[in-house]
Amino acid sequence: MDGAPLDLALQLVRHGAMSKRIKVAAVQMTSTPDLERNLQCAQALVEQAASEGARLVVLPECVVHLGPGAAKLKVAEALDDRGPILSRFAALASSHKLDLIVGGFWEKSPSADHVYNTSVHLGPDGQVKAAYRKIHLFDVDLPDGARLRESDTMLASDQPTTTQTCAGLVGMSICYDVRFPELYRRLVDQGATVLTVPAAFTLTTGKDHWHVLLRARAIESQCYVIAAAQTGLHFGERRSYGHALVCDPWGTVIAECGEGEGLAIGYVDPAYVDTVRASVPSLRHRRL
C-alpha cells in the first residue's frame, strides 16, 4: 500500500530530532563571459554560505564562464595542472574547511577544440577528491527557436561518479543528466544518499520541468538533491530559469532561491534517508 502518512518517528527525524544534520547550500548566480566577475560572485556566495554554517556548497554549471560558441576553450584548465581558476576554488574550500563542488568546470580534454564539462569536488583540504565529466550532452532545438549543440564544443564521458563528503556519499551529475533516471539508479546502487545537480537550465524548459524532474529523482532515488542553478540573462538572448533548491528524500523542497543571485540553504540528515527508505522500501522492491 502506497500513500500512508508519515508516522511520528519519521516526522521527528525529518525535523532534526534524533539525528545529526549537515547544513548544505546550493548557489544561484548569473555567469557571463566576464571571468573575473563570475569568480568574484562565486567566491562571495561561497563565503556567505560558509558564514551561515554550510559545510557542503554546490556551485552551478558554467560557473566560471557562460558565453557564446567556443569561448569556453580559452578558460579551460587541466585538473592535474592546478591552474589559477582551480587554485582559487581550492583555496576557498580549504580556507573555510568545507566540501566545495564546482558545478560545471571547463576542463581541458584530449581534443584541442572540445572541453569536458566537469563537476569537481574539492575537499576541506583543498584537494580534488573526485571529478565527474558530464555524460549527457544537450543537443536540442527548443520551441522558442533556440538551438543548442553542446557536442560542438564538449566531449561526453561514460563514467558515473560518487564521492564521499561530510553530508554522505554524493552521486554527481550535471544539468541535462537529470532527464535520465537510469544514471541515478546507478549512483544509488553505488551507495549515494545525496545527489548534486549543478545546472544552467534554460528558461523555456525550466519553467515546466525543473521542479518535476528534481523531485522525481529525489523520490525514486530516496536521496537528498542539491541543485545549484544559473539564473537570468547571460548574454544575447540566453536566459536561465534559476530556482536553485534543496529537496529531501520524500520529495519535499526544503529550500529554494527566489529571483536573482543567492543561496538555497537546507539540511541533509543521513538518518532521515534511512527512515524514508525503511518506510517506503521501493529500492528493495525493484524487479528489473
Which residues are catalytically annotated? Answer: 61, 134, 175
Q: Can you read off the three cell numbers belonging to residue 281?
A: 522500501
Beta bridge partners of 197: none
Nearest 5°: the CA angle 263, 88, 229 is 30
> What is the identity of the amino acid at 13?
V
What phi and psi values does residue 72 have, to the nearest 5 degrees?
-60, -25
Q: Which residues contact 193 (CB under 8 A, 6 or more apart)?
A: 168, 169, 223, 224, 270, 273
Distance CA 82, CA 232 (A): 30
Residue type, 191: G
Angle at 199 between CA 28 and CA 271, to 5 degrees: 80
| Of 126, 129, 106, residue with least CA distance to 116 | 106
Asked whether 58 and 26 are in contact (CB, 8 A), the reply is yes
* Residue of 213, 220, 212, 209 lying closest to 187 (CA atoms): 220
Q: How far is CA 221 from CA 32, 81, 181, 216, 251, in A?
A: 33, 35, 9, 8, 10
**Cα–Cα distance between 243 and 223 in angstroms, integer?**
19
Q: Are strands 56-58 and 99-108 parallel, antiparallel or unpaired?
A: parallel
Strand partners, 101: 58, 121
